[in-house]
Amino acid sequence: MPDDQLYRETHRPQFHFTPQRDWMNDPNGLVYWDGEYHLFFQHTPGSLRHGPNTWGHAVSTDLTHWRQLHHAALDIDDMGWMWSGSAVVDHGNTSGFGTGGVPPLVAFYTVGDTRIHPPKLCVQGIAFSNDRGRTWTKYDGNPVLGHIRAQNRDPKVVWHEPSRRWIMALFLDGNDYTLYGSTDLKAWQHLHDLTLPGVSECPDLFELPVDGDPTNTRWVFWGGNGGYLIGRFDGRMFAPETDVLHAEQGANGYAAQTWSDIPSADGRRIQISWMAGGKYPAMPFNQQMSYPVELTLRTLPVGIRLCREPVREIAALYDEAHAWTDVSLSARERRVLAKSGDLFDVSLEVDAASGSSFAVEVRGHLVTCNMSEGTLSCLNRTAPIRAIDGRVRLRALIDRTSLELFGNDGEVSMSFCYLPEAADYSLALHGGDEGARFRELSVRTLRSIW
């Protein structure tokens, strides 16, 4: 496909990141530096199917408009494929990789190849950049962490200020994870092992204030499918205070990772996911990312929980806006909100009387909220949702091939990929079996990021 036709294709998401061409999966190396958000990603050049992994690379100044750089940031070498990992700014130049008084960017990745004969065991390597992430040099002392067991992979590295060292969270095998520590990013010592039942791959580790109180914080240990633990971390051991909880209730959110080194003046914990399993027929690319979300810890009736909401930068895409108050639908009434368009940010607040229900119709697919059961359902997935002061709030980000739902300001989050019904651009409300009253309703159309 000619370059001037890229990003205009029928099934190309218009406000979610996709590669120009070829296969993409996990987000990698998320780091902010010098005014840019870096998004690396698992990339298979020359193929629409997953195969030999490299790290693709895109940058953004606003988490919304992305520019893909035209080379493999980390390419396959004689140690194997470039699997998932993370990146940091080494502000103190603890690694010694920095030059000219400027801190280097350091990336951590799993390298190995179990699919060839003889197989190469997965180990952990590092690379560094001194030119704002444009070129990378692999450390000549790799691997910095040898094989432990199985396909140990997906290193996520964070700085732990109280202990003045780097912490690596690493997936081992099954539901098992481990933590290592280092003062120079090169030599690593084992700290602690932990298990997350029902969760595997792609760890993340980060600290958040509870209810916005910086004097009351907890740590979150996150895994590939959106399962997570809340607890405390002393620089050596992670002590869970919950069983495994689930922040991702949809069918397609996977391998989420948060950005490192967001400036303290901003202070947000920002995350993006691979929306795994989407279908993009006759497209030059395969797979997409989620829209970035902000993570917070809030105290709910069931305890402290992780909440996810779209980052505020989406407002830069707002085009037309329509708002209504006190909209009542009779039983089984269908009211059309838009007959055309495929990019929307929809927000609504609904009275949640016992036994009531309502639905939002998105291009032939229904999002149904049933208050007698306390459930939110879409595309064969169901999540619990509660009424707050007799009302339910729901937000939907709608793109050409994806739908992201956020209930009650992020208490519930569900990510879906879908293919729309042919020529069906419907956006409508359904009043359910007893009718529904929408206290507030807004529909914003969005501009393309391309």
Report the DSSP beta bridge partners of residue 410: none
Under 8 Å between Cβ of 172 and 213: no
Contacts of 117 (CB under 8 A, 6+ apart): none
DSSP secondary structure letter of residue 265: T
Give the Cα separation of 24 and 363 in Å (integer). 26
In contact, 18 and 285? CB cutoff 8 Å: yes
CB atoms within 10 A of CB 405: 26
305-335 b/e with 16+ CB inside 10 Å = b?
bbbbebbebbeebeeeeeeeeebebeeeeee
The tokens for 227 are 């399962």
At residue 394, the 3 state secondary structure works out as: strand
Map residue 4 onto helix, strand or coil. helix
Sheet containing 375-378, strands listed edge to edge, beginning at the edge strand earlier in sequence: 334-338, 427-430, 357-362, 365-370, 375-378, 381-384
Phi, psi of 120 (to 5 degrees): -110, 125
Longest dimension (CA), the chain: 70
Burial of 425 (0-12, 13-18, 19+ CB in 10 A): middle
Active site residues: 26
